[in-house]
A and B are shown apart, each in its own frame.
Chain A
Amino acid sequence: MTHQTPAPVSTVSVTVNGTRRTFVCEDRTLLVYAIRDNLDLKGTRVGCMNGDCGACTIKLDGQAVKSCLLLAASADGAEIVTLEGIAPPGQLSPLQKAMWEEDAFQCGFCVAGALFAAQELLDTHDDPDEEDIRKALIGNLCRCTGYEYMVEAVKSVARARRQGGTCDSSVD
């Protein structure tokens, strides 16, 4: 038996989707794996492990970030929202609804990236135009849709907001 020193571990506490959770993981554990394995939230996905695709996007202390680029231990004390927590259980945010209605996805593997990035845009821009929307999506790769109906979905949320003034933000 080759003897190797066990990797050092940390205890990490986060508020995830509104619930306080504490787990123990190796110091080297990436946040994406902690979310998937320790917290068992599978909506945060691995597409590249290199910060290129956005499939692993979460909201960390109010900001959309790629969880494959962060160590889990660095998130200690943070507030995290994952794909599962964008809307309360059994509900969809206006953007999620619009993505569904506009067929803004096919396989669905990439959707966390688009949902968090576009919501951040909608939260900070009153009336984003097509260029704003495309720029907001720049960090996310989708191989299925060509982004076309994703852009449409974001536009339709912005439009509904202008017209109705109701759905002014995500539900979370």
Chain B
Amino acid sequence: MTNATNQPGAGDIEPQDGLVSELRRDGDLIMTGAAGYVDDLPLGHVAHAAILRSPHPHARIVAIDVEKVKAARNVLAVLTGDDLVGMVNPLPHLFDPKIFGLPTAEFYALATEKVRWVGEPVAAVAAETLADAERALDLIDVVYEEIPFVTDAVEAMARGAPKVFDHWEDNVLAMFPFEEGDVDAAIAASTHVIKDVISIQRFQAAPMECRGYVGDWTRGGKITIHASTQQPHQVRTKLSVTLGVTEANIRVVQPRVGGSFGLKFHGYQEESLVCLLSRLAGRPVKWLETRAESLLIGAREFRHEFRVGFEPNGRINGVHNRSIGNIGCLSTWGGWSMVYPNGMSFPGPYAIKNYKMESYGVVTNKAPWSGARGYGKESATLVIERIVDLVAKKIGMDAIDVRRVNFIASDQFPYWTRAKHLDSGDYQGALDQVVELSGYHEWRRVQRDRPADGPLLGVGVAFDLTPEGADASSLIRGHDTTTVRVSPNGAVSVLTGVTSSGTGNETSIAALVAREFGVHPSTVSVFQGDTDISPYGFGSFSGRSLVAGGGAGVLAAREIKDKLRTAASVLLEVEPGDVVFSDGQVRSAANPSRAMDFALLCEQIYSTSYVNPGLLEPQLEATCTYRPGNVTMVPDEHGRISPYPCFPYSAHVAVVEIDRETGYPRVIDYSCVHDSGTVISPKLVDSQLNGAIVMGIGGALYESQPFDDKGHPEALTFKQYLLPRATDLPTIRLGTQVTPSPFTLFGAKGAGESGVGGALASVAIAVNDALEPVGVTVHQLPLTPSRILDALLSSDVAR
């Protein structure tokens, strides 16, 4: 096994062209209903699970009586928290706060003693049918003693607030500080100072397929779990800890996944519950999350309080931001750690010498966070870009020009901040390109010339710097591992530890490996997501699958290619350096008539190596691990680290129209230019970017999970939790800029997340730009018609 670290960019892929020209894999299966998601699989005589959840935000469990359930028709098994204690271990955390020296807590898969959020699993039932299981839940009697609760983060920080965890000092889980220079002095010395707030609501990933797990614990002691997850290997490792079963006896299979966007990280209670219920029921047990259950999962709720000091020429001297993240209850899901990238991303693409970012994670009695595309970076983008826009408005300068003054220049890379070593870029170039693409100046003219009583029109610009490829102290790592195997007939198998949640990275990985061997990608098969088949890997997150898994695949292919080259030089009687691989052939570059089929070469190596001196390496299989460069976890002499290797970015222009009568905002034009480094499959990257932008638009205008004053979440269906629909959106214009990363194998930086923050920010800025003539602002997302209307009605100008 090769362990290639910090390998500089190989740079032999033309960054702009992309490699993939054929159709994405399995499109025919998807188009005809044969895709095979977790609920579609024939997995034997499956029983169905349902979970009884807490109806209270905070209560002591006095007693649970399951006797009636045990006697109920068609019920096969029932579990409570008390059953689990002693039977299994507590669930390991995805990110245990204690590794950062923070307070923590221990959780079983079902609540013991106390419930801390509405929806917390209290008991689980397996029955013949889902209807049987759901009916059985009604027969469970739980006596709760309600205790005071808190759902607001600022209230939770106040002295005397109800404590979510009795053994903690208070409700503050974490405060991650990121600081350089002397921000107070810089702001004090500034000509202008602005103080303001902007708040982002609780909204989530909402993939179209909810989570689902089918556990099968056989009498022989082997467990197989089919899981709609991003991280099959980590599900296995953690199940092994919880259940006390060796990993070798657990197989986790990730079938096709119907979207994830961070929601399907590991650490969920149901992963082990289906296994335990299966053991009791003696049958495979399936649990499928309902939409209402899925919408419990939180993310992103931050309040940003900021101060900025700047000069009349637009130069920002110092920024101070205090972010308060309402992370809901701590749990074994890792989403709370979004608080870190929210802070670490500061101060974005700008060369601001003095800044201080304090990123708080505060626990409350709401459901916990899990991952959500952007992972806190979108929240940082929102506040940074809002700050830039306010600076521009104050000095009457175009926000484009304020960015120009403050951007890190293209000749300053690589560029250090407290917790980032920025790889490469041309930020000004991307902004110029999107200004052009969007017709920005034309929109400004339209805005100036519009009739005074017409709809309000706003233009918003935003720049989204998106750290990618996270390498953290946990089973979230930046590297990954791929095996490449070439068979005697020349067929290539790629077995990789990275997974796809529906993005199509298998198509790109196949193209990368095929290119090494000069064979058609159709001869390359990619296997992912089965712990019995793939090397140990970390799955999919942080836009890293292609960089890490694809990179490892290229390295493994190159190792095999060296053997093939040696053998070909013997068989073709040419120098090894003269051997080229192309069009399914291996030939001499100098004398192309000396050639043989790739398949024949493989066959010769497998079958005749002992009679052919020079073909002494008969096995065409290699496993390599690739870790992108540019990750520094040991602080340098200035105390700086860089847990992310790659920094793709995108520049956005949104145009929003607001109806004066109803306050209804509408995005009427949208443009974005992105730099994801070298692109392998341009169409797949662009499609992900479209999805990210629309998720950001959703967050800016529609999506929200509000809580009522009893601590209950209010959005239980897509009739309350509003996702953007096709009619809510304009055509999105995309442009590409490519500055390859000097720190990754082929210059890719990662794709998939950049865009959420840019859209959140550009739309929020555009709405406020539209409201400027009436002299009001809105700063609590989502910017709903009612919030905008309230602002309009409060305006003297409007009246």
Contacts and interface: CB of A to CB of B under 8 A. Distances in A.
B729 A147 contact: yes
B258 A145 contact: no
A143 B726 contact: no
Nearest to B258: A109
Interface string B67-96: 010011100000000000000000000000
Interface string A135-162: 1011011111111111100000000000
A100 B28 contact: yes
B209 interface: yes
Nearest to B130: A33
Nearest to B261: A143
Given A103-B684, A146-B729, A50 B717 contact: yes
Q: Interface majority SS on B: helix, strand, loop or mixed?
A: loop
Contact of A144 (B27, B687, B726): B687
Nearest to B257: A107
B691 interface: yes
The size class of the interface chain B forms with chain A is 35 or more
Interface string A69-92: 000000000000011101100001
A110 interface: yes
Contacts of A110: 208, 258
A106 B33 contact: no
B446 interface: no
Contact of B31 (A7, A42, A111): A111
Contacts of A53: 208, 718
Contacts of B726: 133-135, 137-138, 140, 147, 150-151
A129 B73 CA distance: 56
B40 interface: yes
B445 to A, nearest CB: 24
A115 B30 CA distance: 11
Nearest to B207: A143
Interface in B278-292: 288, 290-291
Given A42-B40, A107-B208, A143 B695 contact: yes
A126 interface: no
A144 B71 contact: no
Interface residues of A, number: 58
Contacts of A36: 39
A67 interface: no
A133 B729 CA distance: 12
B71 A138 contact: no
Given A92-B32, A143-B695, A146-B693, A106 B73 contact: no
A16 interface: no
B441 interface: no
A12 B718 CA distance: 31
**Residue of A45, A84, A86, A108 most packed against chain B (CB within 10 A):** A108
Contacts of B504: 103, 106
Nearest to A105: B30
A122 interface: no
B206 A143 contact: yes
Nearest to A108: B30
B729 A111 contact: no
B608 interface: no
B719 A106 contact: no
Contacts of B261: 143
Contacts of A47: 208-210, 291
A49 interface: yes
Contacts of A167: none
Nearest to B718: A52
A31 interface: no
Nearest to A144: B691
B195 interface: no
A144 B502 contact: yes
**Residue of B35, B290, B688 most packed against chain A (CB within 10 A):** B35
B165 interface: no
A106 B32 contact: no
Interface of A: 1-4, 7, 28, 36, 41-50, 52-53, 55, 82-84, 86-87, 92, 96, 99-101, 103, 105-112, 115, 130, 133-135, 137-138, 140-151
21 contacts: A1-B72, A2-B68, A7-B131, A43-B32, A48-B718, A84-B32, A84-B34, A92-B32, A106-B259, A106-B691, A108-B30, A109-B35, A111-B31, A141-B208, A141-B725, A143-B205, A145-B691, A146-B691, A148-B690, A150-B726, A151-B731
Given A52-B717, A112-B33, A144-B259, 11 more contacts: A43-B32, A47-B291, A50-B291, A92-B31, A103-B683, A106-B259, A107-B256, A109-B259, A143-B206, A146-B695, A147-B690
